[in-house]
């Protein structure tokens, strides 16, 4: 099937040529269409596209201006048509999501019992909010395209995700955040804020830290946080930070209200210097600090409320201790440019007489090390993110400056130094990384070429069941906090996170930016995977299994964010085998040029 490479250089592009509100609306229409086409298994070809909506007796009509094997399709402005013809010049994304969501619900959704009552209306509300926020983000970034003083290259990339997930119907919905708070809390607006702190009686606090962790500089979690607050308490109580939004919300929760009423917990308000939110919104960064802080945040962001579980807090330390014990040394030796960012400490506020619970406290912190050489690291999601009204993506600008053939070379280097090391880790240890675009940090040299990578997240670690005995032996434990699931399920999840979401975003972004034919880049990626097969096979039993599947399968698993949202699934709390709606979709590598 042919692939068009039409871009903003040869035709009007609504993302770049419309005002901020118009660009935001078009971005949401495009995201909705990508979701619908993927989740209904619709074949996409360049040219006219008509999505029939029989329940409403209407159709959504547009043109595919860039057909992408990886799913990075681009579309002309869409319009609604009824029996009497067009219903206005341009479709409103809020109306469109109401119509398509209703159609999906009438079809029964994807789970027994169908789409729950109220979920269509909820998604419509969240889409309207997301459109409004994205319009604000685009307007602000067009007015202030350059980062302000004090924002380093790492943070600049974290602040680049103006449109959000390109395959989600409401990517920037943050229900519960006022416009005033959004100015401080949004990385897209380059916001910053001081943390709110609580003083907690030691009887209601749990904490742990990896002894000797370099980023802790000999301190336990309690001493580290006191240093970050720039305050010491002389009554034995422990300082615990919270996101300002969370601090206010917690005071309305019965559990926390009871702790405050009993005197076991006291709100102190703002302490210490300002922190900057990263692309996840809840993890905060200071260029002058040795650690970042991952805070619980009860806002719904995409499909989940972002509050840590106790298992996730402990998981970060288990990974740290496994790495210290040499569990992944074979991978680090084979791929010296690859690293895993460690989360060496945590703290949580419990309840009197209940030191092990609840599982979700709402008032907790995971401490994350600042990786070595952070000035050279960029989150992948910031590199590939579209920049409405400003030109190519940051990745497109980097690669264009490298000259002819650079897109192919960059894709090859990325595959060798980011994707293959993660496959090697899985083959050697059974640990599968939920390394989507946001959790993948790419290390660049001064010219913008790939030299390595690091993974970050205390939540996203799968362990293939076949490797559990070896891991427990190395750990000297009888259980693991990792998400232990059947090998086949880990294979499926990695097929989505490592390949579709992560590596293929490089291919999709470079092709959309007009720097190469997507099929040629797919051929480069496939070629580097084939070259890695012998080393993967040697790394562990059946170690090349997953890469071979990617190279040979006609279809691969894919997450359906529209259906996941319509079924009201919280991906943080749902069981792993029902965490999201997954479906099979054509394998883009089968469209590689030959």
Q: How many domains does the chain have?
A: 3
- Which H/E stretch holds residue 181? helix 179-185
Cα separation, 549 vs 544, in Å, equals 9
pTM over 0.85: yes
- Which H/E stretch holds residue 276? strand 265-277
Instruction: From 492, 489, 486, select the one nearest 585 (Cα to Cα).
Output: 492
The pLDDT value recorded for residue 444 is 98
Domain identity same for 306 and 436: no
Q: Is residue 577 part of a domain?
A: no
The pLDDT value recorded for residue 399 is 98
Q: Is residue 592 part of a domain?
A: no
Q: Which CATH number goes with the domain that contains 464? A: 1.10.510.40
- Rounded to 5 degrees, φ, ψ at 327 are -65, -30
Per-residue pLDDT of the chain (594 residues; tens, 9 = 90+): 223 333 333 468 999 988 999 999 999 999 999 999 999 999 999 999 999 999 999 999 999 999 999 999 999 999 999 999 999 999 999 999 999 999 999 998 767 778 888 999 999 999 999 999 999 999 999 999 999 998 999 999 999 999 999 999 999 998 888 989 999 999 999 999 999 999 999 999 999 999 999 999 999 999 999 999 999 898 999 999 999 999 999 999 999 999 999 999 999 999 999 999 999 999 999 999 999 999 999 988 876 788 999 999 999 999 999 999 999 999 999 999 999 999 999 999 987 766 666 788 899 999 999 999 999 999 999 999 999 999 999 999 999 999 999 999 999 999 999 999 999 999 999 999 999 999 999 999 999 999 999 999 878 899 999 999 999 999 999 999 999 999 999 999 999 999 999 999 999 999 999 999 999 999 999 999 999 999 999 999 999 999 999 999 999 999 999 998 888 776 665 566 666 789 999 999 999 987
Cα separation, 493 vs 422, in Å, equals 13
Report whether 379 contacts 157 (CB < 8 A). yes
Report whether 367 contacts 345 (CB < 8 A). yes
Q: Is residue 413 part of a domain?
A: yes
Cα separation, 441 vs 157, in Å, equals 10
Residues in the chain, overall count: 594
Q: Is residue 513 part of a domain?
A: yes
Cα separation, 317 vs 348, in Å, equals 14
Domain identity same for 341 and 386: no
The pLDDT value recorded for residue 594 is 76
Q: Are strands 265-277 and 238-242 parallel, antiparallel or unpaired?
A: unpaired
Beta partners for residue 346, in sequence order = 208, 366
The pLDDT value recorded for residue 8 is 36
Residue 231 sits in which domain range? 192-349
Beta carbons within 10 angstroms of residue 582's beta carbon: 20
Domain identity same for 252 and 120: no
Domain identity same for 377 and 343: no
Q: Is residue 579 part of a domain?
A: no
- Which H/E stretch holds residue 66? strand 58-66
Cα separation, 239 vs 549, in Å, equals 49
Cα separation, 313 vs 346, in Å, equals 6
Report whether 540 contacts 531 (CB < 8 A). no
Domain identity same for 423 and 299: no
Domain identity same for 459 and 380: yes
């Amino acid at each position: 099937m042919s692939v068009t490479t039409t871009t903003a250089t040869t035709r009007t592009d609504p993302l770049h040529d419309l005002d901020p509100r118009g660009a935001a609306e078009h971005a949401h229409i495009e995201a909705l269409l990508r979701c619908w086409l993927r989740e209904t298994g619709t074949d996409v070809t360049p040219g006219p596209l008509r999505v029939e909506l029989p329940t409403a007796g209407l159709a959504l009509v547009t043109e595919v201006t860039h057909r992408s094997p990886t799913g990075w399709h681009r579309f002309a402005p869409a319009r609604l048509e009824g029996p009497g013809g067009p219903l206005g010049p341009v479709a409103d994304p809020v109306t469109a999501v109401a119509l398509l969501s209703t159609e999906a619900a009438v079809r029964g959704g994807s789970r027994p019992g169908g789409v729950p009552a109220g979920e269509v209306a909820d998604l419509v509300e969240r889409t309207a909010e997301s459109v409004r926020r994205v319009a604000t983000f685009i307007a602000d970034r067009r007015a202030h395209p350059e980062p302000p003083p004090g924002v380093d290259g790492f943070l600049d990339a974290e602040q680049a995700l103006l449109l959000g997930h390109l395959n989600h119907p409401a990517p920037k919905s943050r229900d519960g955040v006022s416009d005033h708070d959004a100015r401080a809390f949004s990385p897209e607006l380059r916001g910053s804020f001081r943390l709110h702190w609580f003083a907690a009686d030691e009887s209601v606090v749990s904490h742990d830290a990896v002894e000797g962790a370099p980023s802790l500089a000999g301190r336990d979690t309690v001493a580290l946080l006191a240093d970050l607050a720039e305050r010491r308490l002389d009554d034995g109580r422990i300082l615990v930070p919270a996101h300002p939004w969370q601090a206010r919300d917690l005071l309305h929760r019965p559990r926390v209200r009871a702790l405050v009423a009993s005197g076991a917990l006291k709100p102190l308000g703002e302490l210490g210097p300002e922190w900057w939110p990263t692309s996840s919104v809840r993890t905060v960064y200071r260029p002058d600090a040795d650690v970042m802080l991952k805070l619980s945040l009860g806002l719904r962001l995409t499909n989940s409320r972002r509050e840590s579980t106790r298992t996730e807090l402990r998981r970060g330390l288990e990974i740290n201790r496994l790495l210290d014990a040499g569990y992944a040394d074979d991978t680090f030796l084979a791929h010296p440019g690859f690293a895993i960012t460690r989360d060496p400490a945590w703290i949580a506020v419990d309840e009197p007489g209940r030191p092990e619970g609840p599982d979700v406290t709402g008032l907790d912190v995971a401490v994350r090390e600042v990786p070595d050489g952070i000035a050279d690291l960029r989150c992948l999601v910031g590199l590939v993110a579209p920049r409405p009204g400003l030109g190519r993506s940051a990745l497109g600008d980097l690669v264009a400056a490298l000259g002819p053939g650079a897109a192919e070379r960059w894709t090859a280097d990325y595959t060798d130094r980011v994707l293959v090391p993660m496959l090697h880790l899985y083959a050697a240890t059974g640990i599968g990384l939920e390394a989507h675009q946001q959790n993948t940090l790419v290390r660049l040299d001064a010219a913008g070429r790939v030299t390595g990578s690091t993974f970050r997240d205390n939540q996203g670690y799968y362990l293939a069941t076949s490797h559990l005995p070896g891991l427990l032996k190395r750990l000297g434990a009888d259980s693991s906090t990792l998400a232990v699931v059947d090998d086949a399920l880990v294979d499926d999840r990695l097929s989505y996170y490592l390949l579709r979401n992560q590596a293929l975003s490089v291919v999709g972004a470079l092709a959309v930016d007009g720097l190469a034919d997507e099929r040629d880049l797919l051929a480069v990626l496939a070629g580097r995977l084939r070259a890695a097969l012998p080393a993967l096979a040697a790394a562990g039993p059946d170690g090349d299994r997953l890469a071979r599947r990617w190279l040979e399968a006609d279809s691969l698993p894919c997450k359906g964010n529209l259906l996941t949202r319509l079924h009201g699934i919280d991906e943080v709390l749902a069981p792993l085998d029902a965490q999201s709606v997954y479906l099979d979709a054509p394998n883009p590598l089968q469209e590689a040029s030959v």
